[in-house]
Structure 1
Amino acid sequence: MVDASQLKAGMVIMLDGELHSVASAEHHAGGGQQGGAVFAKVRNLKTNHTRELRFHPGDKLEDLALEHKEMEYLYTDGVTFYFMNPDTFDQIGLPTEIIGAYEKFLQPNMRIPVALYEGDPVTIAFPPAVELTVVSTPPGLREHETSTFKSATLDNGMEVLVPQFIKEGDTVRIDAASGKYLERIRREARKP
């Protein structure tokens, strides 16, 4: 059990018999006759619905420790995403609602940490950024211009805006949550 005042983003708690992930938690001190309060935004891991809650700082909540297991992404049938445990070759399925916006970044054979509760998968711990290769982009108007952007198609079929100096074959880092360009990855040339 944990006090509501100790809630932090990323924790998983049990509310009304269902697992919820804490997206954010703010503690507001009270004054005068007004007591303190904790405002938390939580996401139901089963239905993916988000809601905002208010707790008294001393309210006891059931926090859960999830087991993280690295699994290999196999495929999707449009409704469920299938992952395989590389040690036991057991397969599990996660619904599209849990994968959410990360769907476009999943590639076959990609290894992703899957959070398990009592052996059942509840969510994935997707990395904050992914590296993808530029498949096609028009030549830059001005090679060294960084304040204007152009469109580029990545190897996963996604289109993003990139600086003018990016060319076909470059590897770029993309923010997984927003889908925006972060930086170009420089590959060091091997010295003989």
Structure 2
Amino acid sequence: MGTYKTSDFRKGLKVQIDGEPYQMTEMTFRKPGKGNALYECRLRNLVRGTMMSRTYRGGETLESADVEEINSQFLYRQGDMFVFMNSETYDQYELTSAQVDENWKYLKDGMACSMVLFNNNPISITPPNHVELEVTYCEPGAKGDTATNVTKPCKVETDAEFLCPSFINIGNVIRVDTRTGEYIERVRT
């Protein structure tokens, strides 16, 4: 397994601390008047999702995490379990609702996703940046509300709710940004 020196530290780097994988979410370089440079890091545990802060001196090293990112396909949901398939080897993986987290809102059968494996065990998935979802229920919009930025909750085919403009109706297909959870546009069909 490889190692990273402090000069290699950057946002998004995946490292292993005490046998668990972490991803650097922030990294600040500080050079005090005397002594070694300091690297202040915010790390997110990829298994548990917890955050921690650590400070490293210049020249220290960290082990690289044994994580692999693969292309996968969402197959179906069974209770609290989500089943995915590796697109190349056709191996199937089950993730709990805690591992899938808020991403369940965007998952449609057959959707391509990116999956992170740690020691060949799945730990998280990332849906595409934009998904198209059909609106299954929403209140009708009031006449005359088109000039202002009026929004209403709309339920989509995945049973999630998103705030959409008042002109959206049942049966419309909307595009949603999975990184922010915000409505982008109505898709013309």
* TM-score tier after normalising by the smaller chain length: 0.7 to 0.9
Query: Which stretch has the larger CA shift, 175-184 or 47-56?
Result: 175-184
What fraction of aligned residue pairs are identical, expressed as a percent?
A: 27
- For the residue of structure 1 that corresponds to 2:31, the secondary structure is coil
Partner in structure 2 of residue 174 of structure 1: 176
Matched letter for residue 184 of structure 1: R
The runs of 5 or more residues in structure 1 that have no matched partner are 188-192
Measure how far apart 1:90 and its partner are.
Answer: 2.2
Per-residue CA shift, 1:120-152, capped at 9, x if unaligned?
A: 323223223322122233134326425221222
8 A Cα contact 2:21 2:67, kept in partner: no
Matched letter for residue 136 of structure 2: V
The runs of 5 or more residues in structure 2 that have no matched partner are none
- For the residue of structure 1 that corresponds to 2:100, the secondary structure is helix
- For the residue of structure 1 that corresponds to 2:21, the secondary structure is strand
Partner in structure 2 of residue 17 of structure 1: 19
Measure how far apart 1:86 and its partner are.
Answer: 4.3
After TM superposition, list the pairs within 5 Å mapping 1:113-152 onto structure 2: 113-137=114-138, 138-142=140-144, 144-152=146-154
Distance (whole Å) between structure 2 residues aligned to residue 166 and residue 34 of structure 1: 60
- For the residue of structure 2 that corresponds to 1:47, the secondary structure is coil
Partner in structure 2 of residue 59 of structure 1: 60
Matched letter for residue 158 of structure 1: A
After TM superposition, list the pairs within 5 Å mapping 1:16-55 onto structure 2: 16-27=18-29, 29-33=30-34, 35-55=36-56
Distance (whole Å) between structure 2 residues aligned to residue 46 and residue 98 of structure 1: 8
Measure how far apart 1:7 and its partner are.
Answer: 2.3
Query: Which stretch has the larger CA shift, 44-53 or 61-70?
Result: 61-70
Per-residue CA shift, 1:66-93, capped at 9, x if unaligned?
A: 4332222223444432212344432122
Instruction: Looking at secondary structure, tell me which structure has more strand per residue.
Output: 2
Matched letter for residue 171 of structure 1: V
- For the residue of structure 1 that corresponds to 2:32, the secondary structure is coil
Distance (whole Å) between structure 1 residues aligned to residue 58 and residue 175 of structure 2: 40
Distance (whole Å) between structure 1 residues aligned to residue 161 and residue 96 of structure 2: 25
Per-residue CA shift, 1:85-135, capped at 9, x if unaligned?
A: 344432122233321111222222222121234433232232233221222
Q: How many residues of Structure 1 are paired with residues of Structure 2 in the alignment?
A: 186
Partner in structure 2 of residue 190 of structure 1: none
- For the residue of structure 1 that corresponds to 2:104, the secondary structure is helix
TM-score normalised by L of structure 2: 0.81
Distance (whole Å) between structure 2 residues aligned to residue 139 and residue 3 of structure 1: 57
Distance (whole Å) between structure 2 residues aligned to residue 140 and residue 34 of structure 1: 66
Measure how far apart 1:24 and its partner are.
Answer: 2.3
Q: CA RMSD in A?
A: 2.6
Q: Aligned to 1:165, which of 167, 172, 180?
A: 167
Partner in structure 1 of residue 155 of structure 2: 153
Distance (whole Å) between structure 1 residues aligned to residue 35 and residue 165 of structure 2: 52
Distance (whole Å) between structure 2 residues aligned to residue 109 and residue 21 of structure 1: 28
